[in-house]
Amino acid sequence: MRVSASAQRDREAEAHGYDEAMAPPLASSPVLVRCKGILFDMDGILISSLGSVERSWTKWARMREVDPAYALSMIHGRRAIESVAMMRPDLDPAAELNLIEDIELGDGEGITVLPGVKELLAALPAERWTVVTSATERLARMRLTASGFTVPNRLVTAETVNEGKPHPAPYLAGAALLGWAPEECVVFEDSASGVASGCAAGCIVVGTTFSHEAEHLECATYLVRDLGGMVVSVLPGGEGLALRFTPLERR
């Protein structure tokens, strides 16, 4: 039996525990999403380190005789060890990971905190959120600390999982780390591979168009420009969180 688009939206709303009075997903009016925990990607969501990333990978590409433009087209949203293996499968991926990590750690110039992030994190209880990133733990902690954040004790990083984004493993690990089911967690992501990872894990996914075009984020439950205007409330009785925001209208 064919299910109408509106019926499908109603089913998704019921499954994810959305407020009954909210607008349909991806409408241009405010929505209210209830959840237990929040899983943030790092680069492109909390911070922008694009300049550092691209300078570092350009340097590595030239050292390893890879076209820099090709390298930059491959790296976003992937673990460095997987990017290296795709571009230079003849090299030792662990050794190349150490090399690119050292290059990136030496280039912290131009890292900026993105709109709305400080306000949102300040309103969140520490136990209700963490970071799920394709960066190594050493690099993630350096960038978050340099940005002035109180870094969570436990992160999901490149070393945490055997398979990186777009595989669901990173966001399954993030939900488990917080102690909630994946469908009780909201993922904030900016890359196509990251959005796909969150969707495959069964999370509610909010994709941002800060760094990627909307057409590359097809499976996201909602789209927003960035985290500006995102309002979070802590629900009484341990019921979790309520996120209120106005999504972009999908075109």
80-108 pLDDT, tens digit each: 899 999 999 999 999 999 999 999 888 87
Contact criterion met (CB below 8 Å) for 182 and 197: no
Query: How does residue 16 score in pLDDT terms, banded at 50, 70 and 90?
Result: very low
State if pTM tops 0.85.
no
Query: How does residue 19 score in pLDDT terms, banded at 50, 70 and 90?
Result: very low
Instruction: CATH 3.40.50.1000 in the chain: give the residue spans.
Output: 5-47+112-245
Residues 6+ apart with CB under 8 A from 93: 81, 84, 85
pLDDT at 3 over 90: no
| 19 part of the active site | no
The one catalytic residue among 10, 19, 41, 226: 41
| Two structure tokens written together for 99 | 């090399």
| 226 part of the active site | no
Contact criterion met (CB below 8 Å) for 98 and 81: no
The one catalytic residue among 43, 90, 190, 226: 43
Residues 6+ apart with CB under 8 A from 41: 131, 132, 133, 187, 188, 189, 190, 191, 194
CA 85 to chain centre: 22
pLDDT at 188 over 70: yes
**C-beta atoms surrounding 69 within 10 Å:** 10
27-70 pLDDT, tens digit each: 468 999 999 999 999 999 999 988 888 999 999 999 999 999 99
In terms of pLDDT, which residue wins out, 198 or 211? 198
| Two structure tokens written together for 241 | 């969180």
5-47+112-245 domain in CATH 3.40.50.1000? Answer: yes
